[in-house]
Amino acid sequence: MNVNSNAYTYTFATVMVVLVAVLLAGASLGLKSKQENNVKQEKMQSILASVGVAVNRSEAQAAYDDVIKEVLTIQGGEVVSTDRETGFNVDMAGAIKAENMDREVPLYVANKGGETYYIIPLRGKGLWGPVWGFVSLESDGNTVVGANFGHKSETPGLGAEITTPMFTDQFPGKKISEAGLFQSISVVKKGTSAGDYMVDGISGGTITSNGVNDMLSDCLAPYAEYFKNI
Amino acid sequence: MSTEVKTKESLFSKKNQQLLKDPFNDNNPITVQVLGICSALAITVKLEPAIVMSLSVMFVLAAGNVIISLIRNLIPNRIRIIVQLVVVASLVILVDQFLKAFAYDVSKQLSVFVGLIITNCIIMGRFEAFALGNGPWKAFLDGIGNSIGYGVILIAVAFVRELLGSGQLLGAQIIPLSWYIDMDKGTGFYANNGFFLFPPMALIVVGMIIWAQRAKNTKLIEEN
């Protein structure tokens, strides 16, 4: 058999492509439900972490069902749905493309130790890819209880530091509005933050810090109208 | 028929041991062949991703080498590079999928770096230069040897960069916090060297490793 003939080359390429396609499609289909479950549990973990409930991934579902009392879907300051699944499954990447008041975004209402907390999902752009996170507010809808962030591919040691306590520990106690007027929380140059509406950014991670800054003002704004009426 | 082809070679004969040891020093993929530099820059800011990357490269290179070696007589010469690429790409995608399903936390740490394995020139280089012309066992040893040679340099660079750049190793604080300069209290004498967090410093560290290696191993010094 001539390994270098045209006919053999085409046959080899075709067989190879079909085999690899079957193998990869099989692996992808077979593992899909497991992967999606991991992503879902991780999201529950992050939601819980923003109100200071730390759980393993395997315990996430049970703790989530216990702590999160309501999942509201908000649009233009009005509740448009109270279905838990609808709220949880909102695709933030798609939702933030719409104008502030047109967005359908979820608001998680948690109850921990008798206190009510509101948890707001965030989504924005970092330097290399998307960044996201959750901010939790006290029952006044203004004072921050906690925040956590995630990212797809920010630079380790620089932008990726937004996930570390060094950055997130600055958020508790900050406020998002002043006398009913929405302010957001600005991420400013390291060492220059002052007052209730600013946190220090990451030195060397300026573009990621700016991304978090824009994400906060962009994603918190749609809820301001809702919180006015609680 | 020549008889020497038929003679059985022991699994760890001198020649086979050489396959494992050579890439460690005399023929190191990074410091001597200067391959795989791109990933050495990208992921050596911290020690942990560097270690996980080394292990993933070890799996992909060893498995890929064996697969290419097994089908080496079937591959049409004109499309051999494409075949190699398909083998690396499918292995990497499989690794990625399995990590996402069964080791989700590790897969999150590696994030984009798993995909970067495809572009690692060491892998294509070993397929082309070695696996296409040797049996599976030799190809396996060659893969392990080269990925160790790669991993050692990666870990060494990451060690230096994490220690001097962030004062930590594997995320644990090594430089005592009391050493750090504190402007308010006027104490301390130490500050992290932020330059180590940037890619150029990886090149400089690799350069220094090459320097030290050549000073010790005179075989590597060119004649002129």
Q: What is the pLDDT of residues A158-169, one digit of tens each?
A: 888 899 888 999
Number of H helices, E strands in chain B: 9, 2
Q: Which residue has the higher pLDDT, B29 or B161?
A: B161
In B, minimum Cα distance to A159 occurs at: B197
A16-22's contacts with Cβ under 8 Å and 24+ in sequence apart are A16/B83, A16/B86, A17/B86, A20/B86, A20/B90
Q: Which of A16, A28, A155 sits opposite B97 (nearest CB)?
A: A28
Of residues B204 and A99, more confidently modeled: B204
The whole-angstrom distance between B101's CA and the closest CA on chain A is: 5
Range of the domain at A142: 46-228
DSSP code of B190?
Answer: B
Domain, as residue range, for B189:
36-216
Mean pLDDT over B50-75 rounds to 90
- Residues A82-97: tens digit of each pLDDT: 888 888 888 888 888 8
pLDDT over 70 for what percent of chain A? 100
- B12-34 average pLDDT score: 78
State how many domains chain A has. 1
Percent of chain A having pLDDT more than 90? 37
> A5-48: per-residue pLDDT in tens?
899 999 999 999 999 999 999 999 999 999 999 889 988 988 89
Residue environment code for B102-140, b if the CB has 16+ CB neighbours within 10 A, otherwise e: eebeebebbbebbebbbebebbbbbbeebbbebeeebbb
Rounded mean pLDDT of B74-98?
90
B167 located within any domain = yes
Output the pLDDT for position B111. Answer: 63
Looking at the DSSP bridge assignments, the partners of residue B64 are: none
What residues have CB less than 8 Å from B90, skipping those under 6 apart? A20, A23, A24
Distance CA B145, CA B18 (A): 9
Could you tell me how many CB contacts below 8 A there are between chain A and chain B? 72
Are A13 and B101 a contacting pair at CB < 8 A?
A: no
Burial of A65 (0-12, 13-18, 19+ CB in 10 A): exposed
B101 touches A: beta carbon within 8 Å: yes
- Whether residue B6 is predicted with pLDDT greater than 60 in this model: the reply is no
Residue in B closest to A56 by C-alpha: B105
Long-range contacts of A180-187 (CB under 8 A, 24+ apart): A180/A228, A182/A220, A182/A221, A182/A224, A184/A216, A184/A217, A184/A220, A184/A221, A185/A144, A185/A216, A185/A220, A186/A213, A186/A216, A186/A217, A187/A212, A187/A213, A187/A216
User: How many domains does chain B fold into?
Assistant: 1
- Indicate the range of A25-39, A63-77, B82-96, B98-112 predicted with least confidence: B98-112
Tell me whether B104 touches chain A (CB under 8 Å). yes
Nearest residue of chain A to residue B163 (CA atoms)? A157
CA–CA distance, A79 with A188 (Å, rounded to integer): 33
Does residue A82 belong to any structural domain of this protein?
yes
Residue B22 lies in a domain: no
How far apart (Å, rounded) are the C-alpha atoms in residues B128 and B122?
Answer: 10
The residue-averaged pLDDT of B1-15 equals 60
- Per DSSP, the three-state class of A69 is strand
End-to-end CA distance of chain A: 80
d(CA A82, CA A229): 17
- Find the mean pLDDT for residues B48-59: 86
For residue B10, being part of any structural domain is answered with: no
pLDDT at res. B9: 66
Distances (CA, A) of B32 to A113, A228, B28, B48, B158: 61, 66, 5, 24, 19
In a domain, A25, yes or no: no
Find the radius of gyration of the CA atoms of chain B: 21
What is the band of B1 on the pLDDT scale with cuts at 50, 70, 90? very low
Q: Establish if A81 belongs to a structural domain.
A: yes
Q: How far does Cα A141 stand from its chain's mean position?
A: 19
Residues 153-212 of A with CB under 8 A from B: 153, 155-158, 203-204
A19 in B contact zone (CB under 8 Å): no
* pTM for this entry: 0.71
Residues 6+ apart with CB under 8 A from A178: A197
B16: in domain:
no
CA distance to partner chain B, nearest, from residue A227 (Å): 35
What is the tens place of the pLDDT at every residue in B143-169?
A: 999 999 889 999 999 999 988 888 888
Calculate how close chain A gets to B46, using CA atoms only, in Å: 7
* Contact assignment for A31 to B112 by CB distance below 8 Å: no
- Position B2 scores a pLDDT of 43
Please report the pLDDT score of residue B3 as a whole number.
43
Q: Which residue of B has its CA nearest to A152?
A: B111
User: Quick check: A217 pLDDT over 70?
Assistant: yes
